[in-house]
Structure 1
Amino acid sequence: MKNAMFAALAALFALASPLAAQESAMPPDEPKWSIAIHGGAGTLDPDRMTAERRAEYEAALQEALDAGAAVLADGGSAVDAVKAAIIPMENSPLFNAGKGAVFTWEGRNELDASIMDGRDRSAGAVTGVTTIRNPILLADAVRSESEHVFLMGKGAESFAATQGIETAPPEYFATESRREALERMKARELSALDVDHKFGTVGAVALDSQGNLAAGTSTGGMTGKRWGRIGDAPVIGAGTYADNRSCAVSATGWGEYFIRVGVAQEICSRLRFVESEAFAAMMADGDATGPAELDDDLRTEMQQRVADAVMAEVKQLGGDGGVILVTPEGNALYSFNTTGMYRGRANSEGLSEVAIFGGEAEAGASNTPDH
């Protein structure tokens, strides 16, 4: 029984060493790049989405996707592509990040963001800022221009001033629809989930033509959040993680559960393990033949299953949301346990698509909306 189990695992998961996988996926004479974005996952009802509203979201997603893809197509870095993709979504009132962020219980817009470079696992994050026009740029300045990883509130804004980060007055971030959501929540004693039918956190993950990965996430949190609540988006390992040895991940959803599972790093760690010599040795002990090159379809299936398994844990605990990830081979994947996720992906082979509901852009996207 044990040998049969190991053999079955080997058939699905046995891989070459990380170095061999990188060389196979990224031959020197065929540089490739890939990017995926999200604009939130949650309870999305196709019947309540007008054609005009859908077109508005699709256009905003395409703008963000095109901005990140243009950086990569020009030979730019994954980190720069992630920033380029996130900035338009922070600037759009359609998403819960930057302009259009949700309100706290006290009626403020408090912004969080994080970014990570898979080359050296350098990372930067900020939380609770109220005057930073594009929090993802401040998070990257923390990563590249400070000795720290995570700054908060007034301290983060003081650091921003030393870096010339653009600011905006608090009223710039406020939108009437978000204010009405807070008022409904207070008047009817609702939970954040009752007024936030989608989680509008935005994010991007990218693989550049040099074979480097990066991930970034930006959010306004949950409607009516209190007592300085912080979700997963600025938490390295929960909402954002990138490691050239495995993958880059950005998450969106009910942050408390993503923190408890450590979703972003958990996905990367599992993928790194199945690429490891230790896993190959375990497979060999189970009468498998040892590490072997997989065809592209089987490798992609394995990566999708890993992401789905971690999202299943989130669902089991009671959490909703989704993830996007890019692997060293350039696979851009989604996994979400909600009815929809605003998302898109593009690559050097000509793919460029955006989608909203489950079942759209089906290849390489998995969702299990029953919950």
Structure 2
Amino acid sequence: MKKVILPLIITITLLIICFLVYPKKEKKFDYAIVIHGGAGTILKENFTPEKESEYKKALQKAIFIGDSILKNGGSSLDAVEKTIHILENSPLFNAGKGAVFTNSGRNELDASIMWGKDLNAGAVAGVDDIKNPISAARKVMENSEHVLLSGRGASEFAKIQGLEIVDNSYFFTSNRWNNLQKILTKEKEMTPEDRHGTVGCVALDKDGNLAAGTSTGGMTNKRFGRIGDSPIIGAGTYANNNTCAISCTGHGEFFIRLGVAKDISSMMEYQNISLEKASSKVIDKLTKMGGTGGIIGLDKNGNVTIKMNTDGMYRAYRNSKGETGIFIFK
């Protein structure tokens, strides 16, 4: 009897240990998409029902555009670019039409995009007349030998590529202008979401290719041609089919110093940990340094992670199983 019971006890014990030690198998999706529209001190008490509804409708419109492309077999690059167009064309977010103002009263825009299939990437920085900077970033990636173009040169390149060029006045919105005036006259202390803000998208297509893109108007009242993390590959944007796709938002200087987007990918690759764990570790690092912000990410199986150390982040996700989430507050 003992000869039977002892092996049985050992077998059961080993099964229990395996269950506790080894991580549960993550889900696998045919495709998935995640977006963000900036993170900061975003509190429900500061939102009217109408304002909350307006933001959620904008996020819903963007996420369903990307979902439609992916569902019909489109590439993750197309999904990222077209989804970010929706956010860039909205005055609600700090990118494109809704970009914040510099100290001199102009709008300067940055954007980047990356293809996880071959690690190709493109970016533009400090542009002031390209309607959709994310498209300019993609043109740099696909039609030049470079990764990052800035200022006048980036605009000249965009014109040659046939992108829509607009007068800088196109980016004027009263809300962003008033925010700048409040800072300049020191009428009140601005909150993080007044100063910062970014839009971003990560996507996985049916071919298993990941892509990531980020677009921003930068920081309210910025001077001296300041550039944040959004156009910096490895800081604000990163995609690798072997690991993940990441887009970041927040205080860019901290994201640059930590190389946040690439750090998450590297942890997954070298430490063999999940996207969820790697993202949590990096947000912990950010918090300890005093930086604020958030990240969105997808792994190669379409598993979603959304992390932040702020009170809120405009965000949404959708996958091939129809699972959808649209959120604003923490």
Superposition TM-score, scaled by structure 1 size? 0.81
User: Partner of 1:207 in structure 2?
Assistant: 204
CA distance in 1, matches of 2:177, 2:290: 27
CA distance in 2, matches of 1:194, 1:143: 35
CA distance in 2, matches of 1:220, 1:72: 27
Helix, strand or coil at the partner of 1:99? helix
User: Partner of 2:74 in structure 1?
Assistant: 76
Confirm whether residue 219 of structure 1 aligns to residue 219 of structure 2. no
Determine which structure has more spread, i.e. the larger CA radius of gyration: 2
Structure 1: tracts of 5 or more residues without a match = 1-6, 16-23, 276-298, 359-371
Match of 1:321 among 283, 293, 307: 293
| Aligned ranges 1:108-147 → 2 under 5 Å | 108-147=106-145
Alignment RMSD (CA, Å): 2.1
User: Partner of 2:305 in structure 1?
Assistant: 333
Aligned length: 313
Verify the 8 A CA contact 1:185 1:195 in the aligned structure 2.
no
CA distance in 1, matches of 2:318, 2:193: 28
Distance 1:316 1:93, change over 3 A: same
CA distance in 2, matches of 1:226, 1:199: 14
Alignment-mate amino acid for residue 322 of structure 2: G
Distance 1:328 1:75, change over 3 A: same
Alignment-mate amino acid for residue 230 of structure 2: A
Helix, strand or coil at the partner of 2:220? coil
Distance 1:12 1:198, change over 3 A: farther
Alignment-mate amino acid for residue 210 of structure 2: L
User: Partner of 2:51 in structure 1?
Assistant: 53
CA-to-partner distance for each residue in 1:202-253, whole Å, 9 max, x for gaps? Answer: 0000000000000000000000000010000000000000000100000000
Helix, strand or coil at the partner of 2:141? helix
Match of 1:239 among 225, 236, 239: 236
**Cα displacement (A) at 1:163:** 0.4
| Aligned ranges 1:19-98 → 2 under 5 Å | 32-98=30-96
**Cα displacement (A) at 1:194:** 3.8
**Cα displacement (A) at 1:305:** 2.0
CA-to-partner distance for each residue in 1:38-96, whole Å, 9 max, x for gaps? Answer: 00000011111110000000000001101111110000111111011100000000000
**Cα displacement (A) at 1:349:** 0.5
Distance 1:195 1:310, change over 3 A: closer
Superposition TM-score, scaled by structure 2 size? 0.91
CA-to-partner distance for each residue in 1:82-111, whole Å, 9 max, x for gaps? Answer: 011100000000000000100000000000
Alignment-mate amino acid for residue 182 of structure 1: L
Helix, strand or coil at the partner of 2:98? coil
CA distance in 2, matches of 1:170, 1:248: 32
Alignment-mate amino acid for residue 152 of structure 1: S
